[in-house]
Amino acid sequence: MTTLLEIVLINSLTVVPLAVLAFALGRWAKRPALTHVAWVLVLMKLVTPPFFQLPVAIELPQLPVASQVAPVFEQPLLSVETITEPSDLVPIVIPARTEVSAEQPATHITVAVEPTRTAVGTSESQTISNAANAATWRMWPTDWIGRLLVVWAAGSASWLSLQIFRAIRFERRIARDSATSSEWQGQTRSLATELGLCHCPQVLILDAAVSPMLWGCGSRTKLLFPAELAERLTEDARATLLAHELAHFARGDHWVRLLEFLATALFWWHPVVWLARRQIEEAEEECCDAWVVGQFPHRPRQYAEAILDTIDFLCEARPALPPMASGLGHAPFLRRRLTQIMQGVIPHRLSPRARVLTALLAAACLPLQPFVFGSPRNNAVSDELLAGGLDLKTTPPMVTVVSVSAAENSLSIPTVNPAVPKPPVVSRMTPSQSKNRSARGERIWSTAASSDGRFVVRATTARRVILTDLASDRETDLSTHRLNSVAFTLDPGRFVAGHQDGRITLWDATKGELIRELATHATGIRSIAVSPQGDTIAAGGVDGTLLIADLQTGTLRTTPLHYGQSVNCVRFSPDSDQLAVAVGDWMSTGRGQVVLLNVVSGRTITTLACATSPGALTFASNEELIVGHWDGRTSLWNLVNRQIVGSALADKDVVSAAAFSPDNPVLREAHFIAEEPSVEESSTERVLRQLLVLPVGPAS
C-alpha cells in the first residue's frame, strides 16, 4: 500500500513508538541537545515519504457481512435463473445505465465475481442478497474515508488560514512600529562574531509588548527586540538576551519552526505533533541557555535576572508568539531553566561522534517504511495450497445470472459468456511427502499443472522447484536450474520454463529432462506463457524486454519490445489474438501499466494505467482481464470500455504466486465485487479521494 493515504497512516503509526523512545531518552539522558535532535527526527519522520520497505505486513481485518441491506440493482428483479455449473469465474450481468429506444436490443454490462460456494438448495433470493450485502459493505467504509478526508482537509485549511492571517498581521505591525539602530546592530554583530557566526541577522527595535525573538527564515530572518524592555535592562543584561537569540540563529532553530509549521498543517489532529513541538521548544531553550552561560561564564546571575525581567515584562501584556518565531519560551519550566543556569554549564550541542551517529540513524530510519498494510488472505485460495496440499477440487458453485433489458426495463435470461478454461484438478500429496516437507518447514508457494492433471510443478517457500509425476509418484528436483516461471504446452508431457539467467527452455515432464534451449536473453526471464493454440510463447524479462517466439523453433515472431520497467507477467487471451503484458517495478510503490498487444503484428492495442505496479494477469474472457497488483489489490478490467468493473482484496504473496504460471488458479479465485461510483458522493469527496486513494473505480 503506498498511496498517499496509506503513507499518512503508516507514518502516523510509526512516529508513536519513536515519540515514546524520544520521551524516554530525554528523561534518561538529561542532555537537551540529544533530546532536541530526537524530537526533530520524530517530526521529520512524520512528513518524510517512505522509500524502502521492510517485509512486514499488518493485515487489515475482514469486513463483516450485514444481515439486512437493500439490493444494489436499480430495477426490480423479475426473474432469476439458477445454474449449477462449475466455474472459476462467475459472470453476472447487470443493467447498463444508458437509455435506448424500444427497438434497440437489450444492453448488458458484465461483471465477474467469485463463485458462490453454497449448497445446491440455496434459494435465489438468498444468493442475490449475499451479493448485495457484499457490495454494500464494500461501499460503506469508502464513504467514511471520504468524510474523514473532508474533515482532514478542512482542518488543515482552517489552521493554515489562521496562521497565515496572524503572520501577515504581525509583518504589517513590524513594518509600522519597528526601527533600526546602528548601536544595537553593532553590538549584535560583535556578539555574533564571538559566537562564531558568519552572518548576523538584522536587528529591529519593535514598539510592542513581545518577547525578544527571531522572525522569518533564511536571509530574511530578523532579530526583534521590544523597545520598552530595552529601556529596563542594563547593557550587559541586554547582551545576554541578544546572545540567547543569536544562539537560536546559530542552531538553525528558525528552520525547525518551518518543519513544525509543515507537520502541524498536515497532522494537526495527531497528538505527537503537539507533544513534539513542546518538547522541542523546551530543549531549544535549555540549549540556548547553556550556550549563553558558556559565552558569559561570569554572568549567570545577570542572565537569570534578565530572563526574570523579561518574564515580568511579558506578564503585563500576555502576548502570544506569532507563527514561525523563536523567542525566550514559556514560563512553566522557568524554575528548571534558572536552576540549570545558576548551577553551571551543560553541553549545548552534540559531540562530533554523536552527530555522526545521529546522521546515520536519520539516514537509515527516515526513508524506511517499517511495515505495509496487507489485506487478509483471500478465503477463496485453498488452505491446502498454502499449507502444502494441492486439492483444488471444490463444490460446484451456484451461478446466478441476471440480465435487464434497457428497452423494456424487464429481466430476461441471456446466454452465459463462455466459461474460462477450468484449471486441472490435482491430487493431494502423499502422507509421506507432506510429513517430510513439513519437517523441513517447507510449504507449497505456487503450482503449475498439465491439462490432464498428471504432472505438477511446485515452487516452495524454501526456493525449491519440484516436478511431480502423480501417476508414478515420482519427483524431480529442478531447483538447480533456477526456474522463475513455467507454462505447460498443449502436450501434457511438455512445458516451457523461464530461467533466472535469461534462458527459455523446453522440458519433457515424463522423463524430467531438458529437451532443448529455445532462446536466450541477456537478463532473467520473469514470466512465460504459451498461447492457447499451442504454437507461440511469450516471455517477459527483468529488464523490461518482451519476446514473442515460435514454440517449435524458438524463432522470434516480432522484434523484441522494450519497456521502461520490468515485465512482471505475460498472458494470452483465450482466442490467442491478444497478449497482456504487466509492466512495473514490483519492488516499489510507483505506478505501472498493462499493455495489450496484437500477437500477430506485435502492435499495441491499448494501455491500461495502474495506480500501483501490476504483478500478475489472467484473462477471464476475451473482453475481461484480471490484474493483481503489488499490494494485493485485484482489479477486473472491461477491455471494451477500458474501465475497472470489479475489485477484490487478496495478498501480495497470492499475486506473486499467480505470476508463476498461467495454470495457477489463485488469482481467478479472488472475491470480485462490482464497483460503482456513489451517487451521493459530493464532488469535494471525489476530488480528495482521487488525489489520495487511486484508483477508486470506474470514472464517473
> Do 514 and 580 fall within a single domain?
no
Higher-confidence residue of 171 and 80: namely 171
> Do 540 and 590 fall within a single domain?
no
The answer to whether position 30 is within a domain reads: no
pLDDT digits (tens, 9 = 90+) for 390-420: 333 333 333 333 333 333 333 333 333 333 3
> Do 598 and 549 fall within a single domain?
no
Mean pLDDT score, 39-65:
70
> Do 579 and 532 fall within a single domain?
no
> Do 444 and 494 fall within a single domain?
yes
> Do 609 and 690 fall within a single domain?
yes
SS3 700: coil
Structural domain including 647 reads: 575-664+670-700
Measured CA distances, 634 to 5, 396, 630, 654 (Å): 19, 23, 9, 10
When mean pLDDT is compared across 180-184, 282-286, 379-383, 680-684, the lowest value belongs to 379-383
> Do 652 and 532 fall within a single domain?
no
Counting the structural domains of the chain, the total is 2
Supply 561's cell numbers. 519490445
Spatial neighbors of 73 by CB under 8 A, at least 6 apart, are 94, 95, 132, 402, 404
The answer to whether position 227 is within a domain reads: no
Record the pTM: 0.49
Tell me, what CATH number does 483's domain have?
A: 2.130.10.10
Closest listed residue to residue 418, CA positions, set 82, 81, 89: 89
> Do 614 and 690 fall within a single domain?
yes
Q: What is the pLDDT of residue 140?
A: 40
Burial tier of 212 (Cβ tally within 10 Å: 0-12, 13-18, 19+): buried
| Beta-bridge partner residues of 58 | 373
Q: Give the confidence band of 485 by pLDDT, cuts at 50, 70, 90.
A: very high
Q: What is the pLDDT of residue 437?
A: 52
For residues 293-326, one letter each, b for 16 or more C-beta atoms within 10 angstroms of the residue's C-beta and e for the rest, the string is bbbbeebbeebbbbbebbeebbeeeeeebbbbbb
The answer to whether residues 326 and 245 touch, using CB atoms and an 8 Å cutoff, is yes
> Do 698 and 639 fall within a single domain?
yes
pLDDT over 80 (residue 168): yes
The answer to whether position 436 is within a domain reads: yes
Higher-confidence residue of 108 and 180: namely 180
The answer to whether position 283 is within a domain reads: no
Supply 556's cell numbers. 522470434
In 582-641, alpha helices (H): none
Distance CA 667, CA 35 (A): 50
The answer to whether position 229 is within a domain reads: no
> Do 545 and 637 fall within a single domain?
no
Q: Give the confidence band of 143 by pLDDT, cuts at 50, 70, 90.
A: low
Distance CA 392, CA 87 (A): 13
Residue recorded with cell 538529561: 30
pLDDT over 70 (residue 362): yes
Q: What is the pLDDT of residue 58?
A: 55
pLDDT digits (tens, 9 = 90+) for 644-664: 888 887 777 788 888 889 988
The answer to whether position 61 is within a domain reads: no
Element (H, E) at 506: strand 503-508
> Do 536 and 619 fall within a single domain?
no
The answer to whether position 455 is within a domain reads: yes
Q: Give the confidence band of 473 by pLDDT, cuts at 50, 70, 90.
A: confident
Higher-confidence residue of 128 and 165: namely 165
pLDDT digits (tens, 9 = 90+) for 248-281: 999 999 999 999 999 999 999 999 999 999 999 9
* Residue at a domain's end among 540, 562, 584: 562
The answer to whether position 118 is within a domain reads: no
* Residue at a domain's end among 562, 591, 616: 562
* Residue at a domain's end among 562, 591, 624: 562
Mean pLDDT of the chain: 74
Q: What is the pLDDT of residue 333?
A: 57
> Do 482 and 536 fall within a single domain?
yes
pLDDT over 70 (residue 153): yes
SS3 397: coil
Distance CA 401, CA 413 (A): 7
